Structure 1
Amino acid sequence: MSFGLPSLKSKPSQPQEYGFEEGEFGVPELMKTGLGSARGTIDNVHPLAQSEKNYRQNADKMNMQVLRNIQGLHAPLKIAMELQSAKKIGHLPFLKSSNVMLESLTGRDLEMAPEDLFNTGEFLEITGQPHAMVERSLGIF
């Protein structure tokens, strides 16, 4: 009996060819190309890396599927409409949105993550003139 839930098993995938530009001794010359170039050519080296990257989307999808199986189609549709309307709430372009409504609907307001500590508004490097930013968003220039 299938409920349409996504699989919990991780599917390991590694590329057959990593595409390193090998030097004279058959290893990548990182002193010439840099460490960033070597890292960019490697895909996920651990089977759980892709699963962890998409954890939030997978959990939301599974919760919606369970809700649909328990309460019917109306419940996930209602929640999806509420999430869409919460995403559309806008502020002036020079003000950072706190997304309080969206976080309370998704349950993110009860969690503490690194982006909550290190991504605060006082450390933002993007500042601008409010009038110029509003004119640019309206296409006035």
Structure 2
Amino acid sequence: MSFGLPSLKVKPEHAGNIPIQEGPYGVSSPLVAGFEGAKSKLGMSHPLQASERNYHLNEEKMNMAMLRNIQGCHAPMRLSMERKFASKVGRLPFLPSSNLQHDVFTGRYLDIGFEDILNTPEFCEISGQPHAVVERSLGVL
């Protein structure tokens, strides 16, 4: 019995053979094409890479399906509506937002990830005049 839950078995996103590119050893030179050009042509480096990329989405789908089976349709609809409203709450475009309310709804406020340590606003290279940023977001400029 699956109870409508998504499968836990990992399914590869890309099936088939990877075409060999020109250059020595079948890989294009990173000095010519850059590292991103070489990476995009290689494909998946590990079978779990696709699963890990979609981990939070798969976990949310499984939790919503379990909640729907236990409490009915109203519970997942209410939670998804609250998450939608929490993601729309924001500040002015030139002020950084922590999205704490959305993180609490999704449960991500307990996790420490890459973006928590190395994506801090004080290290951001982009800063502009507040009036120009707001006018640009409103479509005045």
The unaligned stretches of length 5 or more in structure 1 are none
The residue number in structure 2 matching 1:115 is 115
Question: What is the DSSP-based 3-state SS (H/G/I as helix, E as strand, rest coil) of the residue aligned with 1:47?
Answer: coil
Q: How many angstroms apart in 2 are the aligned matches of 1:36 and 1:108?
A: 29
The unaligned stretches of length 5 or more in structure 2 are none
Deviations 1:96-131 (A, max 9, x none): 111011011111111111210111111111100001
Within 5 Å, which residues of 2 pair with 1:1-141?
1-12=1-12, 13-23=14-24, 27-30=26-29, 32-141=32-141
Q: How many angstroms apart in 2 are the aligned matches of 1:96 and 1:33?
A: 35
Describe the shift of the 1:8–1:119 C-alpha distance in structure 2 as closer, same or farther (beyond 3 A). same
CA shift, 1:10, in A, is: 1.1
User: For this pair of structures, how many residues does the alignment match?
Assistant: 139
Q: Which moved more, 1:36-45 or 1:102-111?
A: 36-45
Q: TM-score, normalised by structure 2?
A: 0.88
Q: TM-score, normalised by structure 1?
A: 0.88
CA contact (8 A) 1:20 1:38 kept: no
Question: What is the DSSP-based 3-state SS (H/G/I as helix, E as strand, rest coil) of the residue aligned with 1:44?
Answer: coil
Q: How many angstroms apart in 2 are the aligned matches of 1:119 and 1:104?
A: 19
CA contact (8 A) 1:67 1:76 kept: yes
